[in-house]
Chain A
Amino acid sequence: DVKVTQSSRYLVKRTGEKVFLECVQDMDHENMFWYRQDPGLGLRLIYFSYDVKMKEKGDIPEGYSVSREKKERFSLILESASTNQTSMYLCASSFQYQPQHFGDGTRLSIL
């Protein structure tokens, strides 16, 4: 069974901090994704990657960056955290067009 592991379930950070959210998948999937989930807004794609060292902007990339140095790991970086980035962050991975598999999510609070 595919396992997508996000490093933290809950995280509290302060405004202006640099925040790293880590995601690891164990199925050798080439595709990896970062979403944020907010009530009433569904899932919105922040960044995605189809291969190592490759990244593409999603619908809401402002204020975020990503890193994919190894195939199994996809990191989301908040360069300077702001309160409007308080949200649930979901990582997912997939093989080509197959269904995405999701991690448990990281609930991030920016104070």
Chain B
Amino acid sequence: AQSVSQHNHHVILSEAASLELGCNYSYGGTVNLFWYVQYPGQHLQLLLKYFSGDPLVKGIKGFEAEFIKSKFSFNLRKPSVQWSDTAEYFCAVNGGSQGNLIFGKGTKLSVKP
């Protein structure tokens, strides 16, 4: 069965620090990969997605993620975080079933001003 692991439950950073959130998945076939963000009190929004092609994908608000097939990883990065990036971040994988996503448990990011 597919699964998604997010390594960090809660990350606390100061503004301007660099961010990397880990995501590993287990699935042997072709996958589509997603990062979603949930700002406090808001609905989940898509940050970025990977379907094929360049394994380094850029999303909104300066976020990027790198798909490393050999490591089954899709880590999220941002060079310099802002207080407004405080949110919960979810990695998700789709493989096999049409449209179904398997979500990780989420990583809560707190950015100190």
| Chain B residues closer than 8 Å to A31, beta-carbon distance | 98-99
Interface 0/1 of A77-111, CB less than 8 Å to B: 00000000000001010101111111111000000
Interface of B is mostly: loop
Report the separation of the CA atoms of residues A36 and B20 in the bound assembly, to the nearest whole angstrom: 27
Q: Which of A10-18, A37-45, A61-69 makes up part of the contact surface?
A: A37-45
Closest to A41 in B: B105
Contact A96 B98 (CB under 8 A): yes
| Chain B residues closer than 8 Å to A98, beta-carbon distance | 99
Q: Which of B11-19, B41-49, B61-69, B77-85 makes up part of the contact surface?
A: B41-49
Closest to A59 in B: B102
- Place the interface of chain A in its size category: 20 to 34
Task: Tally B residues with Cβ within 8 Å of A.
Answer: 22
Report the separation of the CA atoms of residues A43 and B49 in the bound assembly, to the nearest whole angstrom: 18
Report the separation of the CA atoms of residues A98 and B34 in the bound assembly, to the nearest whole angstrom: 10
Q: Which residues of A contact B (CB under 8 A)?
A: 4, 31, 33, 35, 40-45, 48, 50, 90, 92, 94, 96-105
Closest 8 CB pairs of A and B: A42-B105, A31-B99, A102-B44, A43-B103, A99-B46, A102-B43, A104-B43, A42-B103
Apart from A90-B44, A99-B49, what 10 extra A-B contacts exist at CB < 8 Å? Answer: A31-B98, A40-B105, A42-B90, A42-B104, A43-B103, A43-B106, A44-B103, A92-B44, A97-B51, A104-B42
